[in-house]
């Protein structure tokens, strides 16, 4: 190290070189470890895309149908952020597989009191290896999804995601 001590110029020696190598090794190790720790972050999110995602809410009481409408803004209950606008609302009677022992057949028996509510929402999103993100809310087919709208709150599963050109 070029340091003047009492007028003498200090010269590099083996120990200095050793320290430099150690510091380089520590930096390399840190980069390696941090790189592995970040493996979960996957690829960087890309540009914004428009998606339509569909969420199914099972066994919704029929009295709650009609509380969510096209044009409603929906929010993520966790961060209260806007996660899109409802573009379609459908409901079908909730049905459950039922076995008929007389003939060995199965059929889907409907329950007249509850329905499956299917809501499609359009939003601006980004996409990465870990899914679609709308205002930090993550969407994947098969993943649990919670939404709030002015007249409805529910927990369902995302059943479809479509990118709009």
Partner 1 sequence: MDNNTKRRLGVLDLAIIIVLVLCAIVFALRFYGRAEISGEDLTGKYTISFIVSDVRHTTADAFVKGDRVYVATDDTCIGVFERLDSNNPAAYYAEDPSAGIVKVYYPEGTRIDLTGTIISEGVMNDDGYFANGSYFLAPGKKISIYTGHVFVDITLSEITEYAE
Which residues of this protein are in contact with partner 1, per CB under 8 A? 5, 8, 10, 13, 15, 19, 22-23, 25-26, 29, 33, 36, 39-40, 42, 56, 97, 99, 101, 104, 106-108, 127-131, 140-143, 157, 159-161
Q: Taking the complex as a whole, how short is the minimal distance between the CB of residue 106 and partner 1, in angstroms?
A: 5
Distances (CA, A) of 8 to 4, 12, 19: 5, 13, 22
Q: Which is nearer to partner 1, 33 or 73 (CB)?
A: 33
Q: Which is nearer to partner 1, 22 or 73 (CB)?
A: 22
Q: Which is nearer to partner 1, 23 or 73 (CB)?
A: 23
**Which residue from 34, 46, 55 is spatially nearest to 158, judged by alpha carbons?**
55
Ramachandran quadrant class, 71 (left: phi over 0; alpha: psi -120 to 50; beta: rest): left
SS3 97: strand
Q: Which is nearer to partner 1, 36 or 63 (CB)?
A: 36
Q: Taking the complex as a whole, how short is the minimal distance between the CB of residue 151 and partner 1, in angstroms?
A: 26
Q: Taking the complex as a whole, how short is the minimal distance between the CB of residue 63 and partner 1, in angstroms?
A: 25
Beta-bridged to residue 123, according to DSSP, are 51
For 45, half-sphere exposure in the C-beta direction (CA atoms, 13 angstrom radius) is 15
């Amino acid at each position: 190290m070029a340091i003047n001590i009492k007028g003498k110029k200090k010269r590099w020696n083996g120990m200095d070189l050793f320290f430099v190598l150690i510091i380089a090794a520590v930096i390399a190790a840190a980069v390696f470890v941090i790189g592995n720790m970040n493996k979960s972050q996957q690829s960087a999110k890309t540009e914004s895309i428009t998606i339509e995602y569909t969420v199914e809410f099972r066994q919704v009481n029929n009295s709650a149908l009609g509380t969510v409408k096209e044009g409603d803004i929906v929010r993520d209950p966790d961060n209260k952020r806007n996660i899109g606008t409802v573009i379609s609302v459908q409901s079908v009677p909730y049905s459950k597989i039922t076995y008929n022992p007389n003939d060995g057949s199965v059929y889907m028996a409907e329950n007249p009191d509850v329905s499956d509510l299917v809501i499609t929402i359009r939003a601006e999103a980004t996409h990465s290896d870990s899914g679609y993100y709308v205002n930090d809310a993550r969407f994947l087919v098969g993943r649990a999804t919670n939404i709030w709208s002015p007249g409805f709150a529910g927990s369902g599963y995302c059943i479809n995601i479509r990118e709009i050109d």
